[in-house]
Amino acid sequence: TEGLILAAQEQRISVHNFRGRLAEELVHFHAMRLRDSLFLWVGDGPRLGNLALAMSSPRVSGP
């Protein structure tokens, strides 16, 4: 069971939602910390919209 607990802790996703003001505009943030990466979304509402993704690949040298 100790190995299962360690494996679960390594794969945990940490999620944080918060908002703040930027030049009189209310801005919403959604941050997810993964094992080897960070996902940060910033928008004008508390929803994920117009999401685009770019990833590097070991097989392709350019976009």
Asked whether residue 62 is assigned to any structural domain, the reply reads: no
For residue 6, pLDDT beyond 60: no
Q: What pLDDT was estimated at residue 27?
A: 94
Residue 37 is assigned to a structural domain of this protein? yes
Q: What is the pLDDT of residues 14-62, one digit of tens each?
A: 889 999 999 999 999 989 888 788 888 888 888 877 777 777 777 766 6
Structural domain tally of the chain? 1
Whole-model pTM: value is 0.59
Domain annotation covers residue 11: yes
How confident is the model at residue 5, as a pLDDT? 52
Which token pair is 49?
């919209």
Q: Give the integer Cα–Cα distance in Å for 2 and 53.
A: 36
Q: 10: domain range?
A: 2-43
